[in-house]
A and B are shown apart, each in its own frame.
Chain A
Amino acid sequence: MSMAVSDNRPFCACSTPPGTSGIAMIRVSGEGAGKILDRCVKIIRTSSDATSVSQMPGYTSAYADFFDPANGNSIDKIIITRYVAPHSYTGSEMADISCHGGSAVKQEILSVLTDNGMRYADPGEFTKTAFAMGKLDINEAEAVMNVINAESSAALRAANSQLNGRLSSRLAEAEERLYRAMALIEMIVEFPEHDDTPENDDEVVRLTRQARDITASLRDSYAKGRILTESMRVVLCGMPNSGKSSLLNALAGYDRAIVTDIPGTTRDTLELLTQINGIPVTLIDTAGIRQTGDKVEAIGVERARKACDEADIVVYLAACDENEEEILRQMRELYSGKDNSNVTLVFSKSDLGINPGSERIKAEAKSLGITSVAEVSTDGDGITGAGTEPVRQIITEFYEKAGGSNSSEIIVLAKRHSDLLASATERLDMALATAEGGLGVDIMSSVIRASLDDIGKITGKTVSVQLADTIFAGFCIGK
């Protein structure tokens, strides 16, 4: 294929708009896409005899499990439609994955795909590939050229809105250190006969480590960046019939979950996108967690545990009329040995008065590292709208802490940036390892340069020009 530029790995992207929706579609294209999908898709049902994606005939679909081959964890149940070259939109091997529209699900699927050898699509790339493979006629193709720059400038605007702010200055700090480290190496290399060139390996290592810490923390900040750009996942859990569905309905403002007083009514998790004080929030109602003999409910309980692990905030609901010993046992089971800084213990007050065992439960929570405690009001029908205010408050505070409106923390908002920062960090780790391993500085310099290339893909700077300027500005050399 004559138009493949620089990277012929299959590429993927989410084709539906960002944010949470009922269903989302992830599209992948490129030779070898099927082989990669084989690693993370397990077919459950399909019309043919195919047992893997690459065996599926073109234009057929399958109901399947999408999982992470690194740990075997299931991510979502999907419908996958396969296209075989050349009978696809792009003309090469393709697949469309319909998954649940939660933002975390989409991001996880994309992450698994990229971890397993795909890359993110460039702006306009599906259309461009379709053109390159002869799928579009000449008139259509001429429009493609306009699409590329239009999509790219939209992406650029999005990037700039972040880059005008603190992210760019933070990246500049990392770049500045790396240029200084490289200039120190290059000075020694370019002007070796001078006795006054600074031969200071410690300084090079110190600067590289500082830059590495910056790229690593920015890379990690994407966990929060996703909350800001997509939505916050708030998981409601607790003993069966502790009022989770009731709280969900009160927060959402309408009856979404079926509420009865029969414990175990919510057998599967339920997701609901809403806004709380203007913050996009996905509320996840879980099955009540208890030891159970009911097989269907057992699956629900397992899902609830998983939802808690992946939540941004967990609301643990303790109802006044529940068995105190049961609650204590369950809290220990769920939370001991974990970082519980995102867990809030919520008591539901009722006409019956405050839970008599609340002091014991609070003490237990404290010893488990759960410091956030709140109460919600209920009346005869369950939790009232006004009564949810303490929970709304906690969600808002968490969002602010995550960098919502005026946090001083710098947060990476784009997955692409986070990936580039991950690559830069990895290379800097390599550079630090070569310094310890006693290899020549030529290698170290080459690896640092590669990390600057990664950062430059975010900031738009070209390494060689910057490097020469740093050398000349900082050192006095020459004949």
Chain B
Amino acid sequence: MNIEEALMTSNAYYAGEFDAAVVGAGHAGCEAAHACAKLGLNTVLFTLHLDSIANLPCNPSIGGTAKGQLVREIDALGGIMGKVADRCCIQMRMLNRSKGPAVYSPRAQMDRNSYSHAMKCLLEKTDNLLIRQAHITHLLTDNGKVCGVMTESHAVYRASRVVICSGTYMESRTIRGEVIALTGPDGLSRSVGLSSSLADAGVPLLRFKTGTPVRVNGRTVDYDKLTRQDGEHDVPPFSYDNEMRGGKVPEEQVPCWSVWTTDETREVIEANMDRSPLYSGVITGIGPRYCPSIEDKFMRFADKNRHQIFVEPLGRDTEEMYLQGFSTSLPEEIQIKMVRSLPGLENAHIQRSAYAIEYDLVDPLSVRPTLESKIVGGLYTAGQINGSSGYEEAAGQGIIAGINAALSFLGREELILDRSQAYIGVLIDDLVTKGTQEPYRMMTSRAEYRLFLRQDNCDARLTPIGHMVGLVDDERFALYEEKQRRIEEEKDRLASTFIAPSDELAALLESVGSVRPPSGISLAELIKRPQVSYELLAPVDKERKPLSDDVIFAVQTDIKYEGYLKLEKDKIAKFSELENKKLPQDIDYEAIGGLRLEAGQKLNKMRPENVGQASRISGVSPADIQVLLVYLELKKRKDKDGGQ
């Protein structure tokens, strides 16, 4: 349907023109709309409900392993998730402290309602951006290109760039035992019609499943029987901007709790498995392996007698508690028995039931690394609609989709982050190159260059890009450059400051189990020793000037990991060679002599952006890549000859 046809439908009216329309105001949609507006596009953001903007319908937390890195990357690019999360944080921790800086991961508990409210307020105050509560039912296209959207009430909006971030709402249904409800998450209304509209435009669709646990009233929980887990204060905020301006995590933090399932839990589940929609076949969508329901855990891991459950607050003031690890799609009455089998929750009162949810999504193999559709020009998708799972994964795609929609509108060069630059790059490349069979969760082990993709250096990796794109303003960029200057100066100073093997130094080193150096040694060499920290050397490092924690951390990590980082950077240099060889979009791969038939077909279908991406497509061999390289060179020469 195009604009004219849409306007012919009953009660239709023309509601105006925008440069960009974003459908869905979850974590992806908020970042996308913010990025478009910041880059100067006249932008509208549609949401099914204004009070559910940036909703956290599952876990009331942001960050965690790999996800914490994503939040900081989004912030380094000039996104908003980190800033809002810092404002609404009620508990902060740095996970993996004992496992090495490459896998340090910040994680924060959120005040769920504040988060949603703070994001709404921030967006309302953003120039060039308007928010509209509306149910988008139609994508309008003309000649294979997007031209607008239409609402349920037939308001027709014209826009040449549309970003769809439908989360789990498209044609969703929620399931508890035999009870199926045609709703989105949290009993909110779902999106109807939009996915048919996408299918009509030729976009291939998939159907996935995910789930969420129960919420209980904390006053009905006997915390004496639970294990308490407090937050930490020596963790930087998510946002580099906040960190550079001396921002801290909140003084007063709220605890989380943990508890183990019992034999009774297992018995209740086993006795009622016949009522599980997953096992009876009611649910057909594919669920995530890393986020199994509790009944799935007991069934698939029969040798494990118990599972750990975390009890997390939904806010600072509310009594509502979330039971992480206890997601289920068993019937409500069984859920009550299951919850009450947990120590300390014998009398727990459930405020919201657990449920499984099924939803439509786009096959990510039909999406380019810019997150523009290969099928409909000007259409971008981000978040769970592309097969991912998680708030942070959604937001990471949202900012890229928003940036690219804007850059394309402005006629500027598009932005693709590669696997060596960011977790966001790994995430998008995995989705659009390999596709996914289940909701995709970011994990640090998916990144080949994990030593380089750290939570502490997202700014060094991405802030210059954010500034070049236009999301990071000059003032913040100046702060960033100052920080980098301090890091480099201190590294140089430590490398060129030699100290004598004095008794004072020897005593200092012995106190941590290290030995006296045979002769004069640079401070940097000492810091390379596993036991020696920057702090430890303070008494013998007389010229040291006070530096902020973030600078010290960066300096220390760079020095300690120098050798390994160099190995990884060599690998990155090799990787980048293929990544930088662009493939023209008009190649007929099946006509290239020497390319195997299977490879030709796959490449014609996938249309990779560059030789690197082509090399990661299943069915394309290293020899095929060599052939492609020869072909590219040949083409270049022929073009050159033709031009003369």
Contact = CB atoms under 8 A, between A and B. Distances in A.
A194 interface: yes
B258 A476 contact: no
A403 B536 CA distance: 58
A468 B451 contact: no
Interface residues of A, number: 57
Interface stretch (B93-101, B358-366, B474-482, B497-505): B93-101
B622 interface: yes
Nearest to A439: B530
B445 A189 contact: yes
Nearest to A151: B623
A153 interface: yes
Interface in A91-125: 122-124
Contacts of B107: 193
Interface string A114-139: 00000000111000100110000010
Contacts of B306: 196
A145 interface: yes
A189 B99 contact: yes
Interface in A1-54: 2-7
Given A142-B593, A186-B445, A476-B297, A124 B626 contact: yes
A189 B103 contact: yes
A192 B594 contact: no
B594 A437 contact: no
Contacts of A205: none
Interface string B609-644: 000000000000111111101110110111000000
Interface residues of B, number: 72
Contact of B450 (A153, A195, A446, A465): A446
B194 to A, nearest CB: 28
A69 to B, nearest CB: 24
Contacts of A193: 95, 107, 229, 310
A7 to B, nearest CB: 7
Contacts of B325: 478-479
A446 B324 contact: no
**Looking at A191, A465, A476, which has the most chain B CB atoms within 10 Å of its CB?**
A476
A215 B503 CA distance: 46
B58 A479 contact: yes
A75 B538 CA distance: 56
Identify whether the interface residues of B are mostly helix, strand, loop, or mixed: mixed
B451 A446 contact: yes
A8 to B, nearest CB: 9
Nearest to A447: B564
A196 B308 contact: yes
A478 B95 contact: no
B464 interface: no
B445 A5 contact: no
A467 B445 contact: yes
B443 interface: yes
Contacts of A189: 65, 96, 99, 103, 444-445
A131 B531 CA distance: 53
B618 to A, nearest CB: 9
A471 interface: yes
B568 interface: yes
Contacts of A186: 443-445
Contacts of B542: none
B290 A478 contact: yes
Contacts of B450: 442, 445-446
A115 to B, nearest CB: 19
B65 A190 contact: yes
Interface in B275-331: 288-292, 297, 300-301, 304, 306-308, 310, 324-325, 327
A5 B626 contact: yes
A128 B630 contact: yes
B49 interface: no
Nearest to B599: A149
B219 interface: no
A477 interface: yes
B117 interface: no
B592 interface: yes
Given A189-B96, A192-B95, A2 B638 contact: no
B245 interface: no
Contacts of A147: 594
A479 B567 CA distance: 36
A463 B446 CA distance: 9
Contacts of B495: none
B235 interface: no
A308 B105 CA distance: 60
B627 A438 contact: no
B308 A3 contact: no
A196 B327 CA distance: 18
Contact of B307 (A6, A144, A440, A476): A476
B448 A464 contact: yes
A123 B564 CA distance: 31
Nearest to A182: B445
A146 B446 contact: no
Given A142-B634, A439-B100, A479 B623 contact: no
Given A149-B594, A441-B103, 8 more contacts: A124-B626, A145-B627, A191-B65, A442-B103, A446-B102, A446-B564, A450-B567, A479-B325
The list of the 9 closest CB pairs from A to B, nearest first, reads A440-B100, A145-B594, A442-B100, A442-B102, A152-B623, A478-B291, A476-B301, A472-B289, A6-B574
12 contacts: A5-B626, A7-B574, A145-B593, A148-B626, A193-B95, A196-B308, A442-B101, A449-B448, A450-B571, A468-B443, A471-B445, A476-B301
